Amino acid sequence: MRHSERYCFIGAGSMAEAIISGMIANGRTEPAMIDVVIRSDRERLLYLQDQYHIHCPESQEDAIHKAGTVILAVKPKDLLEALQQWGRFIHPHQRVVSVIAGISTSFIEQHLTAGVTVIRTMPNTSSLIGRSATALCGGLHAEKEDLQATQEDFNAIGSTVLVDEKDMDTVTGLSGSGPAYIYYLVEALEQAGVNEGLSRSVARQLTLQTLLGAAHMLLETGKDPTELRQRVTSPGGTTMVGIETLSNHHFQDALMSAVHFARKRSEELGSAFSPSATK
């Protein structure tokens, strides 16, 4: 039985902020129900308290102990230290939700009191505005109700999908890193418009609305992207030339390689933290 609906974030960087902001804005929880545990960066804590009016705990240990859900949001390289520092305050009635790339549920379980529920998630930074695409899976002790509760938390900041843990590295390379690929694409399209003589503001407006319109077309019509692309592409017209040029530059191969190597990097990040590593 959980004793609290409180949330405590271990790590207060961009991902923690994106989730905190999204959960408050979407009414999933109240600022007073959120604590943040820091390593040493007091300014960061003060910023989050000022910006989101989150709770100001008397002691960090207490904040962890009182939470129903503890969210691990440190970088992979800092996880072991964080578990050694804070893990002893986590008890078996709590739900531990990791957003950390590459790290398995079994590694985290191994460094906590036996029986603690661990859920591994991969959200993205669009959580900040309630538009994350989050995949999640449960560890050894995760019950259906734990997965449901975590899905509800993350549904408040976007959409969620349950996956097998073996797919989490792929998810990380696709939708965890994905916003960066899209921003990279936007940078290029906007610059292309400028190179061809448009002002930056006109180029940005046209690029963004094109992106938004295409995303909505996909979501609202439910049609296949290939069919929608073909509809834009008039025989002998401009799009045909544009797509041929992208194809000549192996555009789709480049994206597939990006996801492939990002997945491999996620695996590498995790391999230093296999369940048998250091306890």
Tell whether residue 10 is among the known ligand binding residues: yes
- Our CB check for ligand NAI shows the closer of 22 and 193 to be 22
Tell whether residue 135 is among the known ligand binding residues: no
Tell whether residue 66 is among the known ligand binding residues: no
Give the tokens for residue 139: 């560890």
Q: Which stretch binds ligand A1CAB (CB under 6 A): 77-85, 171-179, 200-208, 227-235?
A: 171-179
Main-chain dihedrals φ then ψ at residue 134, nearest 5 degrees: -115, 130
Q: Which of 48, 101, 157, 203 touches ligand A1CAB (CB under 6 A)?
A: 101
Main-chain dihedrals φ then ψ at residue 114, nearest 5 degrees: -55, 135
Token pair 């509800």 is found at: 152
- Using Cβ positions, the residue closest to ligand A1CAB within the complex turns out to be 176
Token pair 């929880």 is found at: 29
97 bridge partner residues: 71, 119
Told to check if 94 binds ligand A1CAB by CB under 6 A, we report no
Tell whether residue 118 is among the known ligand binding residues: no
Written as one letter, the residue type at 155 is: N
- Count the alpha carbons within 13 Å of 270 in the hemisphere toward its beta carbon: 25
* Interacting residue ranges for ligand NAI, rule: CB under 6 A: 10-16, 37-39, 41, 44, 73-76, 78, 81-82, 85, 99-101, 122-125, 176
Token pair 């078996």 is found at: 92
User: What is the size of the binding site for ligand A1CAB (CB under 6 A)?
Assistant: 4
Told to check if 177 binds ligand A1CAB by CB under 6 A, we report yes
CB-based burial, 232-256: b 16+ in 10 Å, e otherwise: ebeeeeeeeeeeeeeeeeeeeeeee
Told to check if 20 binds ligand A1CAB by CB under 6 A, we report no
Q: Which does 71 bind (CB under 5 to 8 A by kind): ligand A1CAB, ligand NAI, none?
A: none
- C-alpha distances out from residue 112 to 66, 85, 86, 92, 118, Å: 16, 11, 10, 9, 10
In angstroms, what is the minimal distance from the CB of 122 to ligand NAI?
Answer: 6
Q: Which of 138, 139, 176, 270 touches ligand A1CAB (CB under 6 A)?
A: 176
The binding site for NADP(+) consists of 10-15, 73-76
